[in-house]
Structure 1
Amino acid sequence: MAGSMLKLMTREQVFLVEQAMEEMDRYYDEEKRMLRNVEDGRGDRHSTRGSAHYAVGLLIRNGGGDVERACAVLDQVLKQQLDAPDEIFHGTFKTSPQAAEPPRGGYPWKRFGPGFAYYLTSTLEKISGHLAEELGAEGEGRQLVGGKDVEQALTRAADRVIPSVWRSYDPNWREFIACAFAVILEHFEPQLPPELVRRMDEAMDKAVTGSIDRQLSDAVPMNTNIELMHLFIVHYYGHRYGNEAWIRHADHQAEQFLEDFAEFGTLAEFNSTTYYGVDLTVLGLIRQYARTDRFKAIGHTIEHGLWETIALFYHPGLENMAGPYARAYEMEMTAHSSMGVFLYLAFGERLKHLAAVNCETGHDPMIALVGVDVPEQVKRKLLGEPEERLVTRRYRELCERDQPGKNRFVCTATAWLERNLMIGACSGSRNTNGQLHPATMHWRSGDGGRYSLRLIRREPEGSWNTHLRGYSVDAAASPGKLTAAVTLETGGKALDVYFEVCGPGVTAANVSPLVWTFPGLSLRVEAEAPEPIVRERDGGGCVEIIYPYRPVSPEDVSHMAFQLKVT
């Protein structure tokens, strides 16, 4: 019956499905039978993961031709799976049919111990540095190659032999697509051709096998959202196929995850609105589709504990979560996250604006299916103006590109929340990921404008969203004040350490070394750092206050210190 599942949904669930499908329908390529990748901005590539989520939405909507289209999309998604039992990427999916095949036969990865990916990366970095020195030492009469050119050339050459994670393949597509397939098989298997179901089951056998190999090898560490998906898919398909070894693996790993969670009641991807949205989706999958009471109970404990932490850092007036962020793309909760969708499901029409379309909207049909489970005592904290408060929580981070056994540091997060201001900070992190935001501010001006400030870094003219070694920040938030101590030991690499301030009407006009004045906020600044360079971002609305670090030798170690005080 057309739309039969929609008739069983609440008004909020129906809205999420219909909004997501209206958006995804726009990007459907009838010829390729896949969604165009809206994130790359070009439209000449297609998204394997996005297409799997589109198939979920089509089957929920079940309008004229939707089931047939879903079957065609699933056929194309299945064709993107990598079938290579001896390779590290076995069972995952190409991110796009236009993506190149990762190289095969480069090395016998299963023979190496945990952390070999870390050692391989760090070894290549050292080799490229020495190679640049050797080329530079050959003197006059030779066209010298810059160190960065050498590093990039060596990386490109290595990528032709070794399947480099994130560049030649994405291991996480196993877990994302396996979750989407679980929902499809759970609800819609009778509507699908038996041959398609058979192919989906074969694909899931490969995906789960590859996911387990990855988890046991620790070759490519799993961040929190992927680890939760791993637990769910191994449990779900283990029961579907009667695979006792998979079931035991899932049960054991779930108990270990719960034990780790109980240490501080927090997750490694701490305070991340992007990944909390995925976490809540997977915990909803466990709540709805887990096959044993114990597995459901573990998910229930983590889901409710996560909401407790969310409530501590959430500011109802600013409709955002205070920093710090262990991993984040954007400073606004609604920009790259499904958190607003969950709040809309929990509170209805009053928060409908938080569920507007963003780059995560393709997940919304699945979120609509699993729903939301916010403890009643937490709901009260998520509405109304926040109490003025100082929050302190600890979490154990995962540095996914560092040496196993030395990549799980205990961090302390502090946040100050008042009526129109949030300050966030963390200390103890040694993560190399640029998505770590250890020092942040958010505020609201008198006319309702919303603003943000974050401390980030990059190589000159490069991107902040990279992994860089030798840069760390220990920061603290207190009433009306943010402090940050920066350590720089980069092996001779130049960096720009800078504060990015964004919001309506932000300009460089009232930024001096000692006082920064923006709409709705003035800061007195004390900086033990080089003289700053103030630059307005092209397009307006953002200012960068840049403190350049230019080491003289690879052995240089430097420090910067900042105190920002609200006046």
Structure 2
Amino acid sequence: MSKIVGPTVASWRTSRAPWSAAEYDRTLLRAALSEGDRCWDPEANLLRVEAPYNPIHTHIKGGLAHPTRNSLQYALLLLERGGAGDAERAHDVILRIAELQDRSVESATYGIWGYYAVETAAEMDPADWNWADFLGIQLLLVHARHGDHLPPAVLREIRESVRHAAASIVRRNVPMSYTNVAVMGTFVTLAAGGLLDDGKLFAYGKDRMVRLCEAIDSTGSFTEFNSPSYWGVVLQTLTLIREHVRDEEVLVLNDRLHDRLWLHFLARWHPPTRQLSGPMARCYSNDLGVPPFLVKAVRGVLGTPDVHPVRGELSVGVDSCVDYRVPDWALPRLLEPDGEREHRELFAQNPSPETGTTWLDAVTTLGSVNHQDTWLQRRPLFGHWVRPDGTAGHLHVHLLKDDGAEDFDFASGVISTVQSGPHVAWLTGFACPAGDRHHHLDVIRPGDRFRARSLRLVVDLIGAPPVPETSAVDGAVDLDLGTARLAFRLAGGSFGGRGPTVRLVPRADGMRIEVVLFESASPAELDWATLGDTFAAGSLSLVPSATGRAREQVPNPEVDSVGNCAEVRWTTPQGRRLTLSGGRSAVSREEHATLYSATLDGAAPPSPRLSESRLVP
């Protein structure tokens, strides 16, 4: 849980401590280089780190390994520090990274790198083509900031690596709905076109910028919506375009896109907890805090949390090389709550609308997306509350599978919602074909059997005061969170002919509500075709304790089977009538999307665009 530190709104208005961007940059640089120096392996001319567990792409699941991206970041930061021997070490890293790039035009992994020196891109399963974008950015930063002082051999290898990485990006030509990679590749091809004096490559980057803006214009928002890490990636890349690309037409579009990005962020920014609320398309951590790029952008007015890089992760040091800037109109909204408000937004047409709703008040915030899979990076129902001690508590709804060896987020789930204020009706089911750990890389197909000891929809309340483990009475859980109250109701459901049950489980970091869909003493082989109905449905509310809402009776939702759908009906404590329908058996994601429907007081909830102004006139 993150401590809410830094100036209050009132103190910021009257007297703000002097902010030194240069000193903060030095802090970031020192922190990153301390970790980089600790991990340096002079025999390999690369960093050596404990590889984090990664269920996809790489076969390296742990142990010491030599990462390519982190090592290249270290080279950049060594040049930034400029101490005795730093330049020589940086040159060695750059030359080693150049050796590790696949430069064979005939290769399927042309232009990219493996995650680690010991494993080539071709040996990965599958390779991560985003490494052309991520490493391309680092190489371009090295050249932009230190190219005038690099030896000819190093300059030559940088140019060659950039040329091959950019060619890989052009060959791949990702759809503009892949937001973060679409933006990164746009910068790489624009900057590489300028560096290499390649007019065709620069024209591709410029056209890509137009296509990106047109894709965002189609809904007014971002397909990879409200993703904290990728919001930071996009912010960084748009800032780099502003700093390092010299084309007036590109810069006009870039400025408009930069404003749209901040508008998107502020719609779900919750000043009382200083957290970004849900829903989220991609997320790695429930406690988001105030990352360095946001500290820099707002010139320290949100405080300056301590920076502690781990495992040779040096991205915070790279942030010292980027001149982030918040638009003047956005700064007050970061600090001052707007009172109670509800934000609705259309994210994408896939082809059915993908929409989100977020409720924000002085204590709590809760957000949901109408329809989303349950891959571990999703946050389909997510929020926070201010705890009595001033820290932020976190609410995270996800689907867990125990395969007999460990629990992990099961990507084959589907969560559908409809929301009014701080109240959400939810329905969870399963898709087939769909992924196991990843949403499309390890697919369970019709007829496949898969192994499971349990399947549980869980509501993690991180920071909740502990209560004894107990079974919920008639599927109902009411928790006093100190400053807020949570009301959870299970309306019903079925999994292979058995109804789900609810239990409350204390955890070291808070409390967990578990909706147990399937559980066995030992792992079982399951087949979607023989299970029949596989769904559960209910409601969830998160409200401040000090308001009248906390004392209102929470009605129980109802669920029925209607044809091949399950239908949830619920009247919120405020009298709003929510109806939600979705698939009740394991069908394809596409069919789940067509079966989804929702009404609020008998009509479809509105899904307004984030902005009616177009990026491309």
TM band (smaller chain): 0.7 to 0.9
Q: Given the two structures, how large is their TM-score scaled by the length of structure 2?
A: 0.72
Does structure 2 retain, via aligned residues, the 8 Å contact 1:507–1:543? no
2:359 equivalent to 1:416: yes
> Match of 1:64?
84
Letter in 2 for 1:70: A
Closer/same/farther in 2, CA of residues 464 and 518 from structure 1, 3 Å limit = farther
- 195, 198, 203: which is aligned to 2:156? 198
Letter in 1 for 2:529: P
Letter in 1 for 2:541: K
Q: Distance in 1 between matches of 2:541 and 2:411?
A: 30
Does structure 1 retain, via aligned residues, the 8 Å contact 2:177–2:222? no
> Match of 1:32?
44
2:250 equivalent to 1:230: no
2:486 equivalent to 1:523: yes
In the alignment, structure 2 segments of 5+ residues that lack a partner are 1-19, 54-61, 433-445, 494-499, 520-525, 543-549, 551-617
Displacement of 1:193 after TM fit? Answer: 1.2
2:330 equivalent to 1:378: yes
Letter in 2 for 1:427: N
> Match of 1:53?
73
Q: Distance in 2 between matches of 1:369 and 1:488?
A: 44
Displacement of 1:25 after TM fit? Answer: 2.3
- 223, 230, 233: which is aligned to 1:268? 223
Q: Distance in 2 between matches of 1:423 and 1:239?
A: 45
Displacement of 1:489 after TM fit? Answer: 4.1
SS at match of 2:115: coil
> Match of 1:319?
274
Displacement of 1:366 after TM fit? Answer: 2.9
Closer/same/farther in 2, CA of residues 353 and 409 from structure 1, 3 Å limit = farther
Displacement of 1:328 after TM fit? Answer: 1.0
2:193 equivalent to 1:251: no
Does structure 2 retain, via aligned residues, the 8 Å contact 1:505–1:519? yes
2:297 equivalent to 1:297: no
Q: Within 5 A, what are the aligned runs for 1:54-133? A: 54-99=74-119, 102=122
Closer/same/farther in 2, CA of residues 558 and 203 from structure 1, 3 Å limit = same
Q: Distance in 2 between matches of 1:562 and 1:185?
A: 55
Closer/same/farther in 2, CA of residues 369 and 57 from structure 1, 3 Å limit = same
- 431, 439, 442: which is aligned to 2:384? 442
- 386, 404, 422: which is aligned to 1:480? 422
> Match of 1:211?
169
SS at match of 1:562: strand
> Match of 1:562?
538
Mean Cα displacement is larger for which, 295-304 or 521-530? Answer: 521-530
Displacement of 1:186 after TM fit? Answer: 1.0
> Match of 1:499?
459
Q: Deviations over 1:412-431 (max 9, x none)?
A: 110111111110101144x4
How many residues end up aligned between the 2 structures?
Answer: 478
Q: Distance in 1 between matches of 2:130 and 2:119?
A: 15
> Match of 1:543?
512
Letter in 1 for 2:27: F
Does structure 2 retain, via aligned residues, the 8 Å contact 1:475–1:483? yes
Closer/same/farther in 2, CA of residues 408 and 293 from structure 1, 3 Å limit = farther
Displacement of 1:190 after TM fit? Answer: 2.0
> Match of 2:31?
19
Closer/same/farther in 2, CA of residues 229 and 96 from structure 1, 3 Å limit = same
> Match of 1:181?
139
Q: Distance in 2 between matches of 1:450 and 1:9?
A: 27
Displacement of 1:479 after TM fit? Answer: 2.7
Q: Distance in 2 between matches of 1:211 and 1:268?
A: 20
Does structure 2 retain, via aligned residues, the 8 Å contact 1:82–1:91? yes
- Runs of 4+ deviating beyond 6 Å: none
Q: Distance in 2 between matches of 1:17 and 1:64?
A: 16
Displacement of 1:373 after TM fit? Answer: 2.2
Q: Deviations over 1:359-394 (max 9, x none)?
A: 696223332222122111111100134422111111
Does structure 2 retain, via aligned residues, the 8 Å contact 1:451–1:501? yes
Closer/same/farther in 2, CA of residues 79 and 408 from structure 1, 3 Å limit = farther
Letter in 2 for 1:353: T
Over aligned residue pairs, what C-alpha RMSD do you find?
A: 2.7
Q: Which has the higher helix share?
A: 1
> Match of 1:286?
241
Does structure 2 retain, via aligned residues, the 8 Å contact 1:506–1:518? no
Displacement of 1:226 after TM fit? Answer: 1.2
Q: Distance in 2 between matches of 1:185 and 1:313?
A: 37
User: Greater relative contact order: 1 or 2 (C-alpha under 8 angstroms, separation 6 or more)?
Assistant: 2
> Match of 1:328?
283
- 502, 505, 509: which is aligned to 1:532? 502
Displacement of 1:189 after TM fit? Answer: 1.1
Displacement of 1:517 after TM fit? Answer: 1.7
In the alignment, structure 1 segments of 5+ residues that lack a partner are 1-7, 104-162, 398-406
Q: Distance in 2 between matches of 1:65 and 1:392?
A: 54
Percent of pairs identical after alignment?
A: 22
Displacement of 1:38 after TM fit? Answer: 4.8
Letter in 2 for 1:75: L
Q: Deviations over 1:237-258 (max 9, x none)?
A: 1122222221221111110101
Q: Distance in 1 between matches of 2:74 and 2:397?
A: 37
